[in-house]
A and B are shown apart, each in its own frame.
Chain A
Amino acid sequence: MLIFAISDKGGTGRSVTSANIAYRRALPGADVCYLDFDFGSPTSAAVFDVPSALRGTEQAGLHSYLRGEVAEPQRIDIWAETESAGLRPRPAQAGQLVLLPGDRGGGEFVLGSDTVRRCADLFLRLEEEFEITLVDLSAGRSYAAQLVLEATALPELSSVTARWLVFHRWTRQHIIAAAGLVYGDRGIMATGASRGHERDRLRDSVRFVRAAVPSPSSPMFAELRPAQALWLSICDEDLTRLASEHKLGPMLTLGTVPLDPVLQWREQLITDEDVLSSQVANLETAQAFADLAAALTDDRRWQSPL
């Protein structure tokens, strides 16, 4: 199954959330690979704490592959190469967790039919090997997004399930921007339709993920004065209404990741140890990632409920 992670604005926690989803999915045994399609700044290796590819790999990254310079993009086995002590050794039962990094300083590139062809081939090969192929696209309307929309519209990929996670933060601007990215001009729906995707099917394969959401029940807000708390809850209701009006309400939201101090200060994987042993991260955060990981393949969550 192909999962595309996208966001309109930067700073939505797209990379760190999707990396955590991949990690949570691999833990109980699924084989997962993670593709860094953020061609402008390929930094997801940092989240996995793989020093050799911190700002992209030196050679044979995804750029090189898509440009046709190498036959196979480089693969990094996270369990083996990460420097993070919490991730090593590979936990019992865990499946593969593989990173396909971008090239250092790769930059954007021109879209051509060859590129689309190579992209589709790669997806097909990975589909055979992995249960989940998670593709981290860059922020905004990018070549990368166009590329995968074209690739998935090819007949040979028609039998492969492709789903979209649209990340946004819980603010006015982010909500409006995320709606624009999906429903607006040159958005996913419009671009997809123009590339030959069936409208209804594409709409049913898009779900939103709310990241860094302050939850009123969180202990962080226990000390608020009544007026502050009331103000906050009214703003929250306004946002709920706004989101619903922009068609990204709870019905189309796959999950919500609460605001977590650890993620505020460092983009990293949150392990069970962080939650249970050192307790630097919140249990709710880890749970949200696990729920999202499970929801990826829960077909009921991907049907139009109404």
Chain B
Amino acid sequence: MRIKPRQQLLEIWEAVAAQGQHGRLWQGSEGAYRNSVSDAEQLLCLLYPATEVPALRLEVPDQTAEDVLAALRRIGDAVEIPRALLDGLTGFMDRHSVDGAPSFSGGDYFDPDDPDVELTPEQRELGVVDAYSLSITLSLATLGFLKYFGPGLTRADLKRTAAELEAATSRRLSAAMVCLLRSFSVSAFRIESDQGRSLCDMINRAGEPNRTVVQRLQRRLDPLRATIRDRFSLGLAGTDDLANDNLLFEVGWSWGIIENAPPIDTDEPIGEQPEGVAQDAPYLYFTVIALDGIADLFSERTLTLGLLNEEQQRLAQALRLRWELTQQYWSALARFDDHSWPLEDIPWRTTDRQESLYFSLLVTSILVQDLVRRRATDDDLARTVNVLEELAIRSKTIRRLVPDDTSLRLHNPGVQLTLLGSERLGPLMRWSVTDFSAQLLKRSVQLRGLSRNIGAHERLLRLAESVMDHLWERRIGAGVGARLWDDLSGVYPQLDEPGSPLSWSFTERIVESLVAAASMVRETPIRSTRLIELATDLLSEADHLLDKEMMNGSGGNFVSVHNMLRQAEVRLQQARRLVRDRPGTACALALQVLTSLEELAAARRTTAWGS
């Protein structure tokens, strides 16, 4: 299936707008517990494209595009749509704050690890990294939306609502940043511990002596270790362990605020900073989620619109340091041995000895970000594409699922992450992740945006299209959530319990992928040096033949000949202008000129034969 971001985003928007009929649009989570993650995802399905894709903007009613209005007609007209968003966002900020301080509850996204027990209400209210990260994205989108929508307001009541929303959003943004800083973990462990051995096994693919591997790893991580020791203080309990060279370490994000994480000194009005309970060890999944959200803090849009205040910029700087360091750390592990990357040894195994294709995908996600930053070589890129392709095949995303397929578990019930530390407040909690295929699409599209190599570009395009085929089949057929996600029975008819409930998290991932695809469309096509050469040669021949024809004083006074030559001249001029950016088009123009000149030449030959 061809990826057409505008059309497909509008199709999703139409389905989202139809949810209003079921009384579910932006009304907050259905269950008994507040779920700030799902609520944020639901809003982002509309707000994210509207603020990231210029063609789909909604905040200036007089300029809303016709097809956008048609897709969202169920919400209202050009004026009612942004007002509904304003109300929805205000409702969200109200619902997810306690005594004026933002809250980030995971609600019914938390499951008990033992299905027979019930989580405590206190546990349901716990914050989670998904919520912090999404809140950053949602807050920045909201602030950007208000930047344009606010000045157009004249009515006093709406002006007040917008100003209040802006204040609440800015508070939420600061709070989310503080929570992310406090969820960051540097976990040190002894080389001979379980974790240490597991890490060495993972990266030691050549079967070298363990001591050599550890030495090489230590050397490679030394600069990171120094940075953490010298520059990290915000929100971390202590980094003294890192001084000990006998310890290895992992960096990244835990699932929530870490136990004993000190509060962060800030003047932002975010209320009391909650105590943490999460275990001080990074989870790959939450690390990737955090990295995604943090990236939005220093996007071009955030900078040009000036969305952060001074204190927020300080917090963002601290997060950025962690963001870069984490990427470097995981990228170093993933590519530890140049001859044979640990990442290529699918599936990835975590230090607590869990294996899953999903972990491989997560490490790839981090690697992709790092590749962008380092302007990776074509070779690194090609190897990463190989990994993505293999993940797509092994996960059966681009292959048919057969009855009793073991890879089904990856999609349903998904990867289960035990949230260690949660048992301090009740039964042990669990987090399920089912969005493998949507993540795969997102990463393929992202990586494609980075690659300026035509071969890799093509492969990623084909891959993304095949993944899209699979995802489109997984849309819910009818009823609540129709044409949204996720219903596996479309690709696996043997499913025991068809008709899955609407998953905003899955839907939001696909929206994000399409937005990434849309931003890529705006770039110029990749330059092919071969085509540039070809076009230059074609132009040279066409030029020469045209000169010849003009020299012959072709056509006497006949207008048609004159026009043909004039048109040829204009086309060649245009082709020369395009030759660097669009050599293919330049070739086509040159060929048109050559064809018409050949018509004249043929006529000339015929007369010679007749005389």
Asked if B61 and A249 sit within 8 Å, CB to CB, the answer is yes
Known contacts: A241-B63, A244-B62, A249-B61. The answer to whether A306 contacts B78 by CB under 8 A is no
Nearest residue (CB) in B for A248 is: B62
Asked if B154 and A304 sit within 8 Å, CB to CB, the answer is yes
Asked if B155 and A306 sit within 8 Å, CB to CB, the answer is yes
Asked if A250 and B78 sit within 8 Å, CB to CB, the answer is yes
By a CB distance below 8 angstroms, the chain B residues around A142 are none
Asked if B153 lies at the interface with its beta carbon under 8 angstroms from chain A, I say: yes
> Majority SS of interface residues in chain A?
helix
Complex Cα gap A251–B81 (Å): 13
- How would residues 136 to 170 of chain B score, 1 for a CB under 8 Å from any chain A CB and 0 otherwise? 00000000000000001111001000000000000
Asked if B60 lies at the interface with its beta carbon under 8 angstroms from chain A, I say: yes
Asked if A304 and B155 sit within 8 Å, CB to CB, the answer is yes
Asked if B443 lies at the interface with its beta carbon under 8 angstroms from chain A, I say: no
Asked if A306 and B62 sit within 8 Å, CB to CB, the answer is no
Known contacts: A250-B78, A251-B78, A251-B79. The answer to whether A306 contacts B158 by CB under 8 A is yes
Asked if A306 and B152 sit within 8 Å, CB to CB, the answer is yes
Interface residues on B, range: 10 to 19
Complex Cα gap A243–B60 (Å): 12
Q: Which residues B28-86 have CB closer than 8 A to chain A?
A: 60-63, 78-79, 82-83
Asked if B79 and A240 sit within 8 Å, CB to CB, the answer is no
Q: Which residues B376-435 have CB closer than 8 A to chain A?
A: none
**Min distance, Cβ B186 to any Cβ of chain A, angstroms:** 49
By a CB distance below 8 angstroms, the chain B residues around A219 are none
**Min distance, Cβ A74 to any Cβ of chain B, angstroms:** 42
**Min distance, Cβ A101 to any Cβ of chain B, angstroms:** 38
By a CB distance below 8 angstroms, the chain A residues around B60 are 244
Residue of A241, A243, A249, A304 with highest tally of chain B CB at under 10 A: A249
Nearest residue (CB) in B for A305 is: B79
Complex Cα gap A203–B155 (Å): 12
User: Which residue of the partner chain, among A203, A249, A306, contacts B83 with CB atoms under 8 Å?
Assistant: A306
Q: Which residues A261-306 have CB closer than 8 A to chain B?
A: 304-306
By a CB distance below 8 angstroms, the chain B residues around A251 are 61-62, 78-79
Q: Which residues A36-50 have CB closer than 8 A to chain B?
A: none
**Min distance, Cβ B191 to any Cβ of chain A, angstroms:** 63
Asked if B79 and A243 sit within 8 Å, CB to CB, the answer is no
User: Which residue of the partner chain, among A200, A203, A249, A304, contacts B62 with CB atoms under 8 Å?
Assistant: A249
Asked if B155 and A244 sit within 8 Å, CB to CB, the answer is no
**Min distance, Cβ A112 to any Cβ of chain B, angstroms:** 36
Asked if B62 and A243 sit within 8 Å, CB to CB, the answer is yes
**Min distance, Cβ B161 to any Cβ of chain A, angstroms:** 11
Asked if B62 and A240 sit within 8 Å, CB to CB, the answer is yes
**Min distance, Cβ A254 to any Cβ of chain B, angstroms:** 14
By a CB distance below 8 angstroms, the chain B residues around A244 are 60, 62-63
21 A-B contacts (beta carbon < 8 Å): A200-B154, A203-B154, A240-B62, A241-B63, A243-B62, A244-B60, A244-B62, A249-B61, A249-B62, A250-B61, A250-B78, A251-B61, A251-B62, A304-B154, A304-B155, A305-B61, A306-B79, A306-B83, A306-B152, A306-B153, A306-B154
A residues at B contact (CB < 8 Å): 200, 203, 240-241, 243-244, 249-251, 304-306
